Amino acid sequence: MESDKEHLLVVFTRLITIKNECNCAIFSEWAVPDITVKQTGYLKTIDEQGDITSSRLAEITSNSKPTITEMINKFVRMDCVYREKSSCDKRILYIRLTEKGRTIAKAEKTAVFRLVERVVGSLDESEVKTLVELLGKVR
């Protein structure tokens, strides 16, 4: 039984490594190889929230407004976000994702999709069905 657990540990570690390689490839494709997990999380938050101001982003992420302003400025320099004035109230600035920012925000999902493609490409149809059935039992 312990041998099976050790083997599963090796297999899952390899899968995680492949997923991380896919993530790195996505970041390299968009020339942001040094982006942090935390920064990716902020971009995901901006993506999920839609109309979001820097004040609201500070609230959601439990950061100070100056910290968020600094981060947004960095994202602007990285071409991941831009600021857009509200059409209703020109005093309000929304933080918007660029195409690059949206891609990075969705990188985790894209990396998992690429991992699944590699797994499916390595197995025949019956093996894929068996894998789906077995993994479906995991709680």
Domain segments of the chain as ranges: 1-30+106-139, 35-105
Q: Is 84 helix (H, G, I), strand (E, B) or coil?
A: strand
pLDDT at 27: 85
Q: What is the pLDDT along the chain (139 residues), one digit of tens a residue?
A: 678 889 999 999 999 999 989 888 888 888 887 888 889 999 999 999 988 999 999 999 999 999 999 999 999 999 999 999 988 888 899 999 999 999 999 988 999 999 999 999 999 999 999 999 999 999 8
Class of the 35-105 domain?
A: mainly alpha
Phi-psi region of 31 (alpha: psi -120 to 50; beta: other; left: phi over 0): left
pLDDT at 76: 96
pLDDT at 45: 95
Burial bucket for residue 79 (CB in 10 Å: 0-12, 13-18, 19+)? middle
